[in-house]
Amino acid sequence: MAQESWESIRDTLSSQIVRGLWAPGAKLPAEGILCKAFQAGRHSVRRAIGALAVEGKLRVEQGRGTFVQTAPLISYHIGRRTRFRQNLLDQGVAPAGEQIAAEIIAAPAEIATALALPEGTPVHRLLRRALADGVPINISLSWHSADRFPDLAARRQIGHSITDIYRDHGIQTYARKRTVILARRPDADEAALLHQHPDQPVMVVQKTDVDATGAPIGHSEAVWAGARVQFTIDSLEEGRDV
């Protein structure tokens, strides 16, 4: 029998994944076994797996193997009042989050401007990862005044929402002042945290929250797995939480 081309191997594995013959999270057979199954060389198998990893259907973990990668496609609504948790719950998807790093730093010029603070003012810098049904969907860096929200990092670490923290500091309602969205390739750390191939694009969402008076209270930049989210911009969204 003629050797399978890498495109044929890719298409066969892709079809098997789509038809559910490989369960989410399932580990594919070792490379040698796949070579025998497809009567193909290692180069063809590796190229097929690499292509499916770029598509987001497979995840290659060094030293562990190749796994079926599935994730819910999130339709994420962006408006003046946007809440991550409610966005996911509305779609029957379980939201979760974890804090990766937290520190207090002197606000650099760009962050000081976004928060309307003097440059060098102490600010919380939090790095967090958000998950949808247990699958990483974004990583975010956020900045808040350390003087106004002294307990923010500790409370986020134990799972308190930013809405509850704002409320406990006298901010009963807040809105999104501005949203900037751009696409790019992730760096190696971002790809690893998102469990995606480095050649898959990410969507970067920058936003600033303001209180009822219009004063900035928080600024963040979230890097979203591009294949796992589609954004909807709400123009009339009274009461919509983001």
Bridge partners of 95?
132
What's the CATH number for 74-233?
3.40.1410.10
102 CB contacts (<8 Å, ≥6 apart)? 124, 125, 126, 127, 153, 156, 157
Residue 238 amino acid letter: E
Residue 187: the pLDDT is: 95
Q: pLDDT at position 72, please?
A: 65
The angle formed by the CA atoms of residues 22, 27 and 31, to the nearest 5 degrees, is 105
If DSSP codes are grouped into helix, strand and coil, which group holds residue 15?
helix
Q: What is the pLDDT at residue 71?
A: 66
Question: What band does 235 get if pLDDT is binned at 50, 70 and 90?
Answer: low
- What distance in Å separates the CA atoms of residue 163 and residue 155, rounded to the nearest whole number? 11
Length of the chain: 242
Question: Helix/strand/coil (H, E, C) string of 34-70?
Answer: HHHHHCCCHHHHHHHHHHHHHHCCEEEECCCEEEECC
Segment 207-224 shows an average pLDDT of 96
Copy the structure tokens of residue 52: 């499916």
Kindly report, as residue ranges, where domains of CATH 1.10.10.10 are found in the chain: 6-68
**Which pLDDT score, from 0 to 100, does residue 129 have?**
97
Amino acid in position 93: V
Question: Predicted confidence band at 3 (pLDDT cuts at 50, 70, 90)?
Answer: low
Predicted local distance difference test score (pLDDT) of residue 233:
86
What are 16-44's pLDDT values in tens digits? 988 889 888 899 999 999 999 999 999 99
**Tens-digit pLDDT profile for residues 165-204:** 999 999 999 999 989 999 999 999 999 999 888 888 999 9
d(CA 130, CA 139): 6
Selection from 40, 66, 79, 71 nearest residue 178 by Cα: 79
pLDDT digits (tens, 9 = 90+) for 33-91: 999 999 999 999 999 998 888 787 888 888 889 999 766 678 888 887 878 888 889 88
CA neighbor of 161 nearest in space, from 69, 83, 218, 239 = 83
Residue with tokens 């409320």: 167
> Which CATH number is 6-68 given?
1.10.10.10
Distance CA 195, CA 214 (A): 37
Asked if pLDDT for residue 9 goes beyond 70, the answer is: yes
Distance of CA 234 to the CA centre of its chain: 20
- Give 186-239 as a 3 state SS string: CCHHHHHHHCCCCCCCEEEEEEEEEECCCCEEEEEEEEEEHHHEEEEECCCCCC
Q: Please report the pLDDT score of residue 241 as a whole number.
A: 37
pLDDT score of 236 more than 60: no
Give the DSSP letter of residue 107: P
